[in-house]
Amino acid sequence: MSSCKNVITLFLSIALLTFPSCLSPEGFNKATWTRDELVHWYAQHRPSNEGLKTFGYRGSDRNYHYFITRPIDSFLMPRVSRTELEIADERPVKSSSSFPLYYYLVDPLQSFKEVSAQ
């Protein structure tokens, strides 16, 4: 029985190393994104992930625009340089963890324009 558990553990370990995207969308540990990287990531993962329909604008500081989404059980909080992206309705970045976590929803596939909740 012990050798069977070892084989299963080995198989699962290899599978997780080979196919890490089966656990969560790639890029989860990345903080700073280019505009194009974030749009590509969103376009790739949104069709199969209902959690990505909530993509919030958290605000801006002098260097970055900040966003938040929760594709799985953890939050992804990417930021994009202000030089790469223009936000029409800029607000100060939310630095606290109080609710709400974002000002409004945006759609990365529509140039990060504000969208209504669905």
Q: Which residues of 87-98 are buried (b: 16+ CB within 10 A; e: fewer)?
A: beeeeebbeeee
Q: Residue 72: its pLDDT value, please?
A: 81
Residues 6+ apart with CB under 8 A from 104: 56, 57, 89, 114
What's the burial of 51, exposed, middle or buried (CB within 10 Å: 0-12/13-18/19+)?
middle
Distance of alpha carbon 26 from the chain centroid: 9
| Boundaries of every domain in the chain | 24-115
Q: Running along the chain, 118 residues long, what does each successive block of 10 average in pLDDT? A: 53 45 54 95 88 90 95 89 96 80 94 86
Q: Does the pTM exceed 0.95?
A: no
Q: Residue 12: its pLDDT value, please?
A: 45
